[in-house]
Amino acid sequence: MSRYFHLSGINRPFAKSLIFIQPGLDVFGLFISGIFISASGAVMDLSLDIAASMHEIHRHHPSISMRQLFKSGLKVGHAVIGTMTTTLLLAYSGGFIMMLMYFSVQEIPLLLMLNSTNVASEILITLVGSFGLVTVAPFSALIGAFLYSRK
């Protein structure tokens, strides 16, 4: 997605300084890895929420079928995805609130603001994190259902 956003990672803090210190550094690769690292906490949190819920369901109802347990895991995931996505959005926007205030004070039009590399980077980070959450929920439910339904 970063190619569609036309982002290179050079706009991230300290990127230009790093390039001067270490010529040939893969700033784009660091940018992408930073996105995955920043979203990994929320993804782990969601998968643990699902796993813990499924564990409790199985503990109180050990004869539950794999299908029923999977559906329960999906319902928990569905409920938590919205709050986790909002948490990501708020956490990331809190990190660049000064930039948003700067754009607001300068009365920069919304479309121009959204097309700036700094804002586009933050939008991409939020989208990737949200995609990760939506992707990990069914996998966590499926793996949990499989593991807990084994005899």
Please report the pLDDT score of residue 123 as a whole number: 83
Q: Please report which confidence band the pLDDT of residue 10 belongs to, taking 50, 70 and 90 as the band edges.
A: confident
Q: Which helix H or strand E contains 99, and what residues bound it?
A: helix 97-105
List C-alpha distances in Å: 85 to 7, 63, 103, 122.
Answer: 22, 33, 24, 14
pLDDT for res 9: 75
Q: Taking all residues of the chain, what is their mean pLDDT, rounded to a whole number?
A: 86
Query: What per-residue confidence (pLDDT) applies to 27?
Result: 84
Answer whether residue 6 shows pLDDT above 80.
Answer: no
pLDDT digits (tens, 9 = 90+) for 22-53: 888 888 888 888 888 888 888 899 999 999 99
Reply yes or no on whether the pLDDT at 2 is more than 70.
no
**What pTM did the predictor assign?**
0.76
Q: Per-residue pLDDT for 151 more than 70?
A: no
Q: Is 9 in contact with 32 (CB distance < 8 Å)? A: yes
By the 10 Å C-beta count (0-12 exposed, 13-18 middle, 19+ buried), 4 is classed as: exposed
Q: Is the pLDDT of residue 13 over 70?
A: yes
pLDDT above 90 as % of the chain? 31
Look at residue 26 in the predicted model and tell me its pLDDT.
85
Q: What percent of the chain has pLDDT over 70?
A: 97
